[in-house]
Amino acid sequence: MPVDPLEAFGLFYKNNSGPVFRTLLAGTLNRAAAEDATAEAFARALAHWDTVASHPNPKAWVLRVAWNHHRSSWRRWEARWSVDQQEPSPPPPESWVDPDLVAAIRGLPKGQREVIVLVALGELTPTEIAGVLGRAVGTVRSQLFRARMTLRQLLADAPGPEGRDA
């Protein structure tokens, strides 16, 4: 019995919308931008469900569309306003967020931040990330290595739970 495409998409959305949103939130540091890019990417996935469903990694397809949408939106915004006027949105107080980790990720250069969140939250391989971000695989691996080294150092220097204010 063939699977109803709308049911298949509904299941795909249910299983992946949260992880895709969290990946975009961690990468963009802007809740509204992450929500917008996630919604747009899943809307396009629904419109092209036959293609997406047969893709080797549908989640990677959605993440690529979401990142591209975010970058396009950013370029349109940047054309109207000075980059210096935008402050990143603070991350939402959600239980999955470790404040030390968020602070460390926020301190990474943009390229490293994008790569590390696509590995950690997006669960993508360097080859898939290269496709999502439009970068060479070697560049992605280099950025990933640097991001991991920086995070190790920053998190090793961070105070433990006993050193935090309650």
User: Is residue 48 pLDDT above 80, yes or no?
Assistant: yes
C-alpha dist (Å) from residue 106 to 46, 90, 91, 92, 155 = 32, 10, 10, 14, 13
The pLDDT > 90 percentage for the chain reads 38
- Among residues 55, 54, 33, the alpha carbon closest in space to that of 131 is found at 55
Task: Using the CB atoms, write b or e for 117-151: b if 16+ within 10 Å.
Answer: bbbbbbebebebbbbbbebeeeebbbbbebbeebb
| The pLDDT of residue 161 is above 80 | no
pLDDT, average across residues 49-68: 92
Domain ranges of the chain: 5-163
Residue, of 105 and 51, whose pLDDT is higher = 51
Distance in angstroms (rounded) separating the CA atoms of residues 74 and 83 = 10
Burial of residue 154 (CB within 10 Å: 0-12, 13-18, 19+) is: middle
Residue 82 has pLDDT above 50, yes or no: no
**pTM for the structure as a whole:** 0.61
Q: What is the mean pLDDT of the chain?
A: 81
Query: What would the two tokens of residue 23 be?
Result: 């990946």
Domain 5-163 has CATH 1.10.10.10: yes
